[in-house]
Amino acid sequence: MQSKALVNFSFKNTGVNHRAFKCTAPPCASDWQGCLFVVLLYCLAGWCLSSFPLDCEDVYTAGNFYSGVYKIYPAGGPGFPLYVYCDMYTDGGVWTVFQRRQDGSVNFYRGWNDYKLGFGNATGEYWLGLQNIHLLTMNQDYQLRVDLQDFEGNRAYAFYSSFALSAYAISGETDGYTLSVHGFGNGGAGDSLSSHSGRKFSTFDRDQDGAGYNCAMEFRGAFWYHDCHSANLNGGYYQGNSTLHGKGIHWATWRGLDYSLKGAEMKIRVLKRKPLKE
């Protein structure tokens, strides 16, 4: 299924509504072209159009209906593309997956620069990158879904109707990629993330938590720590019950801080398209 998704992917001849930016030409003429935020855009009947997919909703809009790995351009293009996994099936689909843990094949105990730019492989375990997530969420309203799995085969999820990183900051890094989540909906996992809202992201080499010590170093992870966590989805990969309290992949309100989960996936989709007409 994944290979079919890759084969069918093409944006060369599609007019995808670019949701990140409005046309700025007054009036917005059909033949206007311009450069905005290093993105080449053109206007058609008042709409900003671009051949570059911003996220998995744009991928779907272009006629790619299979879950799989696709190229997106969080800044709108035309720079280097990012490869992401698009979940086109779960709860209506069009989810852009920005974090996945499934087998421990990728080391998530990494420094700031790796978490800023991203690492791993979209076919398996990966992190999309704080800067890329910031670019995605700074101009549109996104939902968040967190899917969890334990080693006994049980699954649960948590849903948040609003998600953003440093939504009102031009520079997400200067603002620490501050997490904003609201509107919790329970899919059996309980709410372990709301207490992290309003917190900056921390790694072992950039401590921005609210504790008197380095939470990332203490709990072998990287996250929006407070003092310290009720969720640690980027923690070490361990097998279920562990004596390493809080240092694994944890979601406190589901399996607690002494059970490290088998899998976790964080993914976002647009809550509602913002109108792009002038």
75 part of a folded domain: no
170-175 average pLDDT score = 84
Q: Are 254 and 192 in contact (CB under 8 A)?
A: yes
CATH number of the domain at 247, please: 3.90.215.10
pLDDT digits (tens, 9 = 90+) for 194-245: 999 999 999 999 999 999 999 999 999 999 999 999 999 999 999 888 768 9
187-194 average pLDDT score = 98
207 part of a folded domain: yes
Q: Are 112 and 93 in contact (CB under 8 A)?
A: no
**Cα atoms in the 13 Å half-sphere on the side-chain side of 207:** 14
225 part of a folded domain: yes
Mean pLDDT, the chain, whole residue set: 83
Domain carrying residue 146 = 94-270
| pLDDT score at 241 | 85
**For the chain, what is the domain count?**
1
pLDDT higher than 70, residue 182: yes
Specify the higher pLDDT residue, 34 or 247: 247
161 part of a folded domain: yes
Distance of alpha carbon 244 from alpha carbon 127, whole angstroms:
23
50 part of a folded domain: no
236 part of a folded domain: yes
137 part of a folded domain: yes
Which pair of structure tokens corresponds to residue 151? 């080693």
Q: How many CB atoms lie within 10 A of CB 24?
A: 13
85-109 average pLDDT score = 98
pLDDT digits (tens, 9 = 90+) for 138-170: 878 999 999 999 999 999 999 999 999 986 666
| pLDDT score at 12 | 33
pLDDT confidence band for 10 (50 / 70 / 90): very low
9 part of a folded domain: no
Q: What is the DSSP string of 102-161?
A: SSS-S-----HHHHHH-EE-TTSSEE--HHHHHHHHSSS-EEEEEEEE-TTS-EEEEEEE
Distance of alpha carbon 143 from alpha carbon 269, whole angstroms:
5
Q: What is the DSSP string of the chain?
A: -HHHHHHH---TT--EE--S----SSS--TT-EEEETTEEEEEETTEEEESS--SHHHHHHTT--S-EEEEE-TT-SSS--EEEEEE-SGGG--EEEEEEESSS-S-----HHHHHH-EE-TTSSEE--HHHHHHHHSSS-EEEEEEEE-TTS-EEEEEEEEEEESTT-S-TTTTT--EEEEEEEEEBS---SGGGTTPPPBBTTB--SSSSS-HHHHTTS-B--SSS-SEETTS----EE-SSTT-SSEETTTTBTTEE-SEEEEEEEESSPPP---
6-16 average pLDDT score = 33
Query: Whole-prediction pTM value?
Result: 0.83
